[in-house]
């Protein structure tokens, strides 16, 4: 499956769950008529899908729920590979306690967000 339909499939799957919300994160630049560049998106290398997963905190933390920042980079199963800036983004997110990964299958996605 091509990357865009697969990304849409994973976003729909994520948003069908009560504990997960993911949004499409397009990153790039557009040249304005003035010649200036307008950059958009979260950050170069950030995941195709970003959002949050809600979890219940342990009893020691008064049972509050919190949202964990979640970043999913979607790749085609056979041809997709992660660029260096995508690996750095993933590693940085993980180091700060976020859920972040690069997935090529629904099974990898489910494993990441479970």
pLDDT at residue 62 in the model: 81
Q: Which residues pair with 30 in a beta bridge?
A: 38
pLDDT at 1 > cutoff 80: no
Alpha-carbon distance values, 54 to 9, 41, 59, 107 (Å): 20, 23, 16, 20
Residue 34's pLDDT band (boundaries 50, 70, 90)? very high
Count the domains in the chain.
Answer: 1
Give me the torsion for CA of 90, 103, 3, 25, rounded to 10°. -40
Residue 64's pLDDT band (boundaries 50, 70, 90)? confident
43/28 Cα distance (integer angstroms): 9
* pLDDT, tens digit (0-9, with 9 covering 90-100), for 38-60: 999 999 999 999 999 999 888 88
pLDDT at residue 5 in the model: 92
Domain containing 70 — which CATH number? Answer: 3.40.1350
Domain that holds residue 101: 3-113
């Amino acid at each position: 499956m091509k990357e865009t339909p697969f990304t849409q499939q994973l976003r729909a799957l994520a948003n069908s769950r009560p504990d997960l919300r993911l949004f499409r994160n397009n990153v790039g630049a557009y040249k304005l008529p003035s010649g200036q560049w307008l950059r958009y998106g979260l950050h170069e290398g950030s995941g195709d899908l970003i959002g949050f997963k809600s979890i219940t905190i342990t009893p020691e933390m008064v049972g509050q729920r919190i949202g964990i920042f979640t970043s999913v980079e979607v790749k085609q199963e056979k041809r997709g590979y992660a660029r260096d800036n995508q690996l750095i983004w993933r590693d940085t997110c993980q180091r700060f306690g976020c859920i972040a990964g690069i997935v090529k299958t629904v099974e990898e996605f489910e494993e990441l967000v479970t």
